């Protein structure tokens, strides 16, 4: 590889595709990204998309090159299904559950890491991609055990014992925000600039309501509309309230996960979204530490490969 990379780390999600060439010393030799996420691709399109993405950095001729992939590329409707490993699950063995989609006439030798599922006690749940971040967390903060929160479209709450996932739970918080904002009657109160200064005020009001009474979410949601009609609340306040109410409800409903013994809760995700969760958890006197999602993914892909 002209780029100096020894192997390639890939995060192939529903919406986006990102790849990093990793040098023998572990440094990043190159980085590429595209919007050709799993959601837009038929199974037979994946090899060409990967080849094109790496064309400028990887010569066509030469020895085989290891490509370690995490995320939705391994879903049933992705490139090739990488069956879930079941929680409680040791993430150190993630690479042993990988599948190897064939790429004939190519130097690229892809492996897709599995996701993690949970079946116990009727609490069925699944993750794909987050397990790699959780493995990475262990190398970024050696010896960590406790609860981790991964805010996102589908937020995850995970109990980790070192490299072992004990149990986890998914909240559809981000997606509920999007579908209500876009498709429900509440959209009528959110036409316009959603990022005005009133957004913070609305967020705080919603957050406090959600944390205090998570059992009343379906009733409290309609306040978005009623507040616009009766109190002249603008789009930014309403969007902030909706966001705060949903995040507060998630935190209030899941607070039983947070024992007294944990000094701080790692939050893995985008800085903006993690800051909102940090504000909510602070309401319960819980300290948080924000871990960059990309750093966790990269650390996880490296460790999965090193442990294989």
- Note the residues at the interface with a second copy (CB under 8 A): 76, 84, 117-119, 123-126, 154, 157, 169-173, 175-176, 179-180, 182-185, 213-219, 221-223, 225-227, 229-231, 246, 249-250, 252-254
- Terminal C-alpha separation, the chain: 22
Which CB sits closer to a second copy, 101 or 252? 252
Closest among 237, 247, 241, 287 to 267, alpha carbons compared: 287
Burial class (CB in 10 A: 0-12, 13-18, 19+), 172: middle
Token pair belonging to 146: 């406790």
3-state secondary structure of 152: coil
What is the smallest separation between the CB atom of 97 and a second copy, expressed in angstroms?
16
Which CB sits closer to a second copy, 132 or 173? 173
Residue with tokens 């504000």: 279
What is the smallest separation between the CB atom of 143 and a second copy, expressed in angstroms?
28
What is the smallest separation between the CB atom of 93 and a second copy, expressed in angstroms?
20
What is the smallest separation between the CB atom of 154 and a second copy, expressed in angstroms?
7
- The dihedrals phi and psi of 102, each to the nearest 5 degrees, come to -70, 140
Pairing of strands 265-269, 108-112: unpaired
What is the smallest separation between the CB atom of 98 and a second copy, expressed in angstroms?
19
Which CB sits closer to a second copy, 156 or 302? 156
What is the smallest separation between the CB atom of 161 and a second copy, expressed in angstroms?
21
Which CB sits closer to a second copy, 63 or 231? 231
Which CB sits closer to a second copy, 14 or 294? 14
Which CB sits closer to a second copy, 31 or 185? 185
Which CB sits closer to a second copy, 23 or 117? 117
Report the C-alpha gap between 206 and 201 in whole angstroms: 9
Residue with tokens 């969760």: 277
CA dist 209 to 49, 60, 189, 206, 217, Å?
46, 58, 19, 5, 9
CA atoms within 13 A on the CB side of 38: 21
What is the smallest separation between the CB atom of 118 and a second copy, expressed in angstroms?
8
DSSP, res 80: S
Cβ-based neighbours of 292, under 8 Å, separated by 6 or more: 271
């Amino acid at each position: 590889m002209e780029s100096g990379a020894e192997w390639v780390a890939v995060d192939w999600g529903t919406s986006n595709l990102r790849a990093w060439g990793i040098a023998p010393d572990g440094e990043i030799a190159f980085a590429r990204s595209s919007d050709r996420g799993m959601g837009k691709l038929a199974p037979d399109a994946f090899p060409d998309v990967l080849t094109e993405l790496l064309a400028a950095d990887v010569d066509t001729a030469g020895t085989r090159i290891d490509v370690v992939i995490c995320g939705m590329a391994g879903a049933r409707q992705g490139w090739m299904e990488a069956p879930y490993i079941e929680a409680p699950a040791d993430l150190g063995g993630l690479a042993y559950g990988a599948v190897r989609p064939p790429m004939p006439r190519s130097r690229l030798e892809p492996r897709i890491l599995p996701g993690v599922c949970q079946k116990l006690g009727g609490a069925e749940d699944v993750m794909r991609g987050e397990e790699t971040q959780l493995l990475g967390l262990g190398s970024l903060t050696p010896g960590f055990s406790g609860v981790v929160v991964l805010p996102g479209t589908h937020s995850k709450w995970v109990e980790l014992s070192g490299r072992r996932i004990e149990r986890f739970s998914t909240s559809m918080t981000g997606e509920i925000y999007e579908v209500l904002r876009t498709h429900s009657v509440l959209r009528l109160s959110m036409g316009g600039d959603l990022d005005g200064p009133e957004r913070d005020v609305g967020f705080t009001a919603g957050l406090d309501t959600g944390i205090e009474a998570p059992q009343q979410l379906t009733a409290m949601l309609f306040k978005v509309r009623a507040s616009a009609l009766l109190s002249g609340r603008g789009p930014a306040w309403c969007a902030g309230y909706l966001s705060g109410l949903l995040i507060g409800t998630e935190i209030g409903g899941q607070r039983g996960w947070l024992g007294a013994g944990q000094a701080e809760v790692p939050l893995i995700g985008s800085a903006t979204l993690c800051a909102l969760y940090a504000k909510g958890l602070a309401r319960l006197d819980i300290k948080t530490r924000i871990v960059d999602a990309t750093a966790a993914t990269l650390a996880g892909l490296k460790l999965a490969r090193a442990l294989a």
